[in-house]
Amino acid sequence: MAAKIHGTVRKVNGYADGTPTLEIHVPRNRAEGLPFHVGARVPITLRFAGIEYDAGLRATERNDYVWVSPTLRSVNGTRTTLGRVLTEGGLRPNDPLILVVEDHLVSVETDHTVDVRHALSSEQQPSGARDAVTPRIHSRPTGAEITMDRPITGPSKSAEATPIVLPPIPDSEALITRIRSLAGLPERNHEDVVKELLLRLGFDASEIVFQKGRIDLCVLTQDRKTAAVFEVKRTIAVESERAGARRQGMDYASQTGAMIIVVTDGDRFEIYDRRKGHDYDAMLCGAFRLTAFHDTDAMTLDLLRPDNLRSART
């Protein structure tokens, strides 16, 4: 018998073409019936508007929700994203939906009414899909655009965006002001801001090292081992820059034995843990933006505090 589980569309970032990076979140205490496993990416088949995609279901100890990862692959092998599929199907961040679960087949249902199959671009549809009967879902009510930079980790809050707040660090206003002045400045200025953040989180200056070999910045343990590698760019809002930084960070972490990689431009931060899997989706622990910080980002920010980064190398 199929299980019906309530979930919510959450925005976690954005792609260079403007498409949002979306995930489907389900509070873990409501996720009974989903085939998730804490600490692993479980392959599933995701069905939306009659089209099936290879997808992944994730859960970690740190997060109190289970989520469908943002990377998809259609049955004909075309790589796409959950953000593109849901957006072109008329869904937006914070929209509620229902997941109908039959073993490892997860179907997305919604009460919206847009012609989704016509909305989805032809390259996303498997051969013959356009000749099939088109399911109809309702168009989203008009109103103010809802935006969120990170997902809410508690119960779903349909059609409500969490407010932007100051990060829970000393003298955060001064740091935010400095971040907003970085536009157009050389990369080293962005590295200095990252160091400032780490100092405010509780690191000693002696634990933060610039230009260790080709590494932009790293955090060391008491016995001078590399606990975390920070790959810093002038921006990671551009997908090519983000992808390059991520590859470099992974290479440097492999060379030094560090488990944690942080890709950042001083404002946006993405945190990866190499112990969690073999692809970027599996390794991603979370992301946040300091100038658009939400209360729900605090748990991800905590991953950068001294006790957490030091313990990653023990």
Taking only the tens place, the pLDDT of each residue in 202-254 is 999 999 999 888 889 999 998 899 999 999 999 998 888 899 999 999 999 99
Residue 215 lies in a domain: yes
Find which of 73-77, 92-96, 189-193, 295-299 is predicted with most confidence, using mean pLDDT. 189-193
Same domain? 119 vs 30 = yes
Kindly tell me if the per-residue pLDDT of 314 is higher than 70: no
Same domain? 186 vs 290 = yes
Distance of alpha carbon 134 from alpha carbon 206, whole angstroms:
62
Same domain? 112 vs 179 = no
Confidence at 18, pLDDT banded by 50, 70, 90:
low
Q: 33 lies in which domain range? A: 3-155
Kindly tell me if the per-residue pLDDT of 127 is higher than 70: no
Residue 160 lies in a domain: no
Q: What are residue 96's DSSP bridge partners?
A: 8
Domain end: 97, 129, 155, which one?
155
Same domain? 149 vs 184 = no
Kindly tell me if the per-residue pLDDT of 267 is higher than 60: yes
Residue 132 lies in a domain: yes
Domain end: 155, 187, 210, which one?
155
14 or 80, which is more confident? 80
Q: What are residue 218's DSSP bridge partners?
A: 209, 229
Confidence at 15, pLDDT banded by 50, 70, 90:
low
Same domain? 130 vs 192 = no
Confidence at 17, pLDDT banded by 50, 70, 90:
low
Same domain? 17 vs 138 = yes
Tally the domains of the chain: 2
Same domain? 260 vs 181 = yes
Kindly tell me if the per-residue pLDDT of 133 is higher than 60: no
What's the rounded mean pLDDT across residues 133-144?
32
What's the rounded mean pLDDT across residues 145-169?
49
Domain end: 125, 155, 185, which one?
155
Same domain? 146 vs 218 = no
Residue 34 lies in a domain: yes
Confidence at 16, pLDDT banded by 50, 70, 90:
low
Nearest to 22 by CA among 109, 80, 99: 80
Same domain? 13 vs 147 = yes
Same domain? 222 vs 78 = no
Same domain? 93 vs 219 = no
pTM of the model: 0.52
pLDDT at position 129: 38
Give the CATH number, domain containing residue 195.
3.90.1570
What's the rounded mean pLDDT across residues 153-168?
56
Same domain? 137 vs 250 = no
pLDDT at position 277: 84
pLDDT at position 151: 35
